[in-house]
């Protein structure tokens, strides 16, 4: 990490960050999956968590949601310990596998989750519109394509008025037009103070973020901005920058 | 716990069933058809039919709800929806009660149809109240549901969940007194049967059907069924973890 700001140096006081991770260590099945991960994201950030499959992205997101048992470290969201009861209607989560009921229609799924969250039923129309499923609300999830299922799952995360959105690969396999629209939506939400942490294994999504977390083998290689990454590595694109960072790491 | 979330969960579980018409048909009609088959098998031996059919009517919902719930809950666990719900403002009791309300209402219809066929069309006669038998059937359904919810935590595939039926339900059926009166069993088996909830479910049904017992005469059985249900629900709640490895 020679020329890049170390993750710990960018850590601001917890009270100011929407998401604050400090010295996070997670072991799954005897294997260390996250080793000393620290970062701090202020409100209104659109942060991209990038790295190859299996590098620990989902585990980090699960830790931030408070559903992952952790070995060491501290994870705070909106100032409260991750997974606190108070956070359950303020933080929304989209898992990597579409977690919606296959034997219900899109509308039935969203209506159920809206009621659990206490969001108005009218929210269902808003979020189906946002993910481009407006014409398919009456269809069973079972009959949808993989991308459509993922969108139904993303729509669920948009219900209510979450202050933090944790999205695990939300744009995989999507039509480029829809992908562009979703990123525009993410930035509109961020402009309103919502903090987004979005994972992807596709490096070209990096340019759409205001903050980048590059991950490999359970460690953060970089915690910077897209411009900062290219400047500090002298690489032409994020993919090349990733390789520079991997070679710099002892 | 929130009435809004519990009601939404019950409505959601019923909506899932509603989309699966074949399962609904099987749930509602198979017990009645089995009782009809039993009456055919025992044709001419009415005392035997009366002795066996009424308890069976009350035990079917236990078996079907055990199976249906363990599969439904397993899907909830493996499909990621449980993890999503656990990050939302939903109390574990909302989920368990929602399932309970949904499956109990299915059990009401199931036991109602079975009772109408058995008592109406097949000439089944019970010494005690038909309504009490149906009420016990619904209580047994909720007990089966609670056990299914709990045991689903120990299955990692639908194959395993289905095998829990012969593993946990059939031994209880064999020992509950339906096939051999419990006082004719060996001391060891009788002692084991006393620890199994289905023994009390069967005893209550038999007393009502054969001896004409009223609700006041089977309070111990009712208490054990209710206590077993609450214990299984508490154990089931303990298996719903917000934080996993």
Please tell me the pTM assigned to this model.
0.89
Interface of A with B in 14-33 (CB under 8 A): 28-29
Q: pLDDT-based confidence at A4, cuts 50/70/90?
A: very low
Kindly report the length of chain A: 250
The model's pLDDT over A10-44, given as tens digits with 9 standing for 90+, comes to 444 444 699 999 999 999 988 999 999 999 999 99
Which pLDDT does position A171 carry in this prediction?
Answer: 85
Q: Cα–Cα distance between B137 and A41 in angstroms, integer?
A: 56
Q: Which residue on chain B is closest to A108 by alpha carbon?
A: B12
Contact A101 B12 (CB under 8 A): yes
pLDDT, chain A, mean: 89
- Give the tokens for residue B33: 């058809």
Total tally of structural domains belonging to chain A: 1
**Considering the domain boundaries, does residue A111 fall inside one?**
yes
Average pLDDT for A66-74: 94
**Residue at A3 is within a domain:** no
Is A89 in contact with B89 (Cβ distance < 8 A)?
yes
Query: What CA–CA distance (Å, rounded) separates B206 from B199?
Result: 10
Give the DSSP per-residue string, A32-97.
EEEEEEEEEEETT-EEEEE--TTSSHHHHHHHHHT-B--SEEEEEETTEETT-GGGTTTEEEE-SS
Cβ(B138)–Cβ(B45) below 8 Å: no
Give residue A5's pLDDT band: very low, low, confident or very high (50, 70, 90): very low
Cβ-Cβ contacts under 8 Å, B19 against chain A = 103-105, 140
Residue A21 belongs to a domain? no
Q: What is the ipTM of this complex?
A: 0.89
**Cα–Cα distance measured from residue A103 to residue B25, given in angstroms and rounded to the nearest whole number:** 17
Beta carbons within 10 angstroms of residue A107's beta carbon: 18
Q: To which H or E segment does residue A222 belong? A: strand A219-224
Q: Provide the shortest C-alpha distance from residue B3 to chain A (in Å).
A: 10
Domain boundaries, chain B: 3-239
List of long-range contacts for B48-52, beta carbons under 8 Å, 24+ apart:
B49/B122, B49/B124, B50/B124, B50/B125, B50/B126, B50/B209, B50/B210, B51/B209, B51/B210, B52/B178
**In the predicted structure, residue A207 carries a pLDDT above the cut 90:** no
Overall average pLDDT of the A150-177 stretch: 91
DSSP class of residue B44 equals T
Residue B38 scores a pLDDT above 50 = yes
Token pair, residue A55, equals: 């590098």
Task: Indicate whether A179 belongs to any domain.
Answer: yes
Q: Is residue A163 part of a domain?
A: yes
Q: A95 and B79 in contact by Cβ < 8 A?
A: no
Residue A149 has pLDDT above 50, yes or no: yes
Residue ranges in chain B assigned as alpha helix (H):
3-19, 21-41, 46-78, 81-86, 92-115, 130-151, 158-164, 170-175, 187-194, 197-211, 219-239
Give a yes or no: residue A15 inside a domain. Answer: no
Per the domain annotation, does A25 fall within a domain?
Answer: no
Do the beta carbons of residue A188 and residue A219 sit within 8 Å?
no
Give pLDDT tens digits for B115-144.
999 999 999 999 999 999 999 999 999 999
d(CA A157, CA A170): 10
Looking at the domain assignment, is residue A22 inside a domain? no
* Closest to A47 measured CA to CA, from A177, A244, A189: A189
Q: How many residues does this entry show for chain B?
A: 245
Q: What phi, psi does A27 have (nearest 5°)? A: -120, 130
DSSP H or E stretch at residue A190: helix A176-191
pLDDT at position A250 is: 66
For the segment B188-241, what is each residue's pLDDT rounded down to a tens digit?
Answer: 999 999 999 999 999 999 999 999 999 999 999 999 999 999 999 999 999 888
- Residue A228 maps to which CATH number? 3.40.50.300
Helices B21-41 and B3-19 sit at what angle, rounded to 10 degrees?
A: 70
Report whether B88 contacts A88 (CB < 8 A). yes
């Amino acid at each position: 990490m020679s020329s890049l700001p170390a993750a710990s140096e960018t850590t601001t006081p917890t009270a100011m960050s929407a998401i604050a991770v400090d010295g996070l260590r997670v072991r799954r099945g005897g294997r260390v999956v996250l080793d000393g991960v620290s970062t701090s994201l202020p409100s209104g950030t659109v942060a991209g968590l990038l790295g190859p499959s299996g590098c620990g992205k989902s585990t980090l997101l699960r830790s931030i949601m408070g559903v992952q048992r952790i070995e060491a470290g501290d994870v705070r969201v909106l100032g409260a310990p991750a997974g606190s009861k108070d956070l359950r209607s303020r933080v929304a989560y989209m898992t990597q596998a579409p977690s919606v009921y296959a034997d219900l229609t899109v509308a039935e799924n969203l209506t159920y989750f809206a009621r659990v969250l206490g969001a108005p039923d009218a929210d269902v129309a808003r979020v189906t519109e946002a993910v481009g499923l407006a014409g398919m609300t009456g269809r069973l999830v079972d009959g949808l394509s993989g991308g459509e299922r993922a969108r139904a799952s993303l729509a669920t995360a948009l219900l209510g008025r979450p202050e933090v959105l944790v999205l695990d690969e939300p744009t995989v396999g999507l039509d480029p037009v829809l992908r562009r629209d979703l990123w525009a939506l993410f930035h509109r939400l961020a402009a309103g103070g919502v903090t987004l942490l979005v994972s992807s294994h596709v490096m070209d999504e990096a340019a759409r973020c205001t903050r980048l977390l590059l991950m490999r083998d359970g460690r953060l290689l970089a915690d910077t901005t897209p411009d900062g990454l290219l400047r500090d590595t002298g690489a032409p694109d994020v993919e090349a920058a990733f390789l520079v960072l991997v070679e710099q790491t002892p | 716990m929130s009435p809004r979330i519990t009601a939404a969960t019950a409505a959601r579980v019923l909506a899932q069933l509603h989309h699966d018409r074949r399962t609904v048909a099987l749930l509602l009609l198979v017990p009645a058809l089995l009782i009809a088959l039993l009456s055919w098998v025992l044709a001419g031996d009415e005392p035997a039919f009366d002795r066996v059919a009424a308890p069976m009517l009350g035990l079917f919902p236990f078996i079907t709800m055990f199976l249906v719930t363990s599969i439904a809950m397993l899907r909830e666990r493996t499909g990621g929806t449980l993890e999503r719900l656990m990050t939302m403002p939903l109390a574990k009791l909302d989920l368990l009660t929602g399932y309970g309300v949904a499956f109990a209402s299915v059990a009401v219809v199931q036991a109602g149809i079975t009772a109408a066929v058995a008592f109406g069309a097949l000439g089944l006669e019970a010494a005690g109240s038909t309504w009490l038998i149906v009420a016990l059937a619904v209580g047994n359904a909720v007990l089966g549901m609670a056990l299914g919810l709990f045991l689903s935590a120990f299955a990692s595939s639908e194959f395993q969940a289905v095998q829990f039926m012969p593993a946990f339900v059939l031994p209880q059926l064999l020992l509950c007194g339906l096939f051999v009166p419990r006082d004719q069993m060996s001391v060891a088996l009788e002692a084991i049967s006393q620890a199994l909830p289905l023994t009390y479910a069967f005893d209550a049904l038999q007393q009502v059907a054969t001896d004409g017992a009223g609700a006041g005469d089977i309070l111990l059985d009712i208490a054990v069924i209710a206590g077993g249900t609450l214990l299984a629900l508490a154990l089931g709640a303990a298996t719903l973890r917000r934080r996993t490895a």
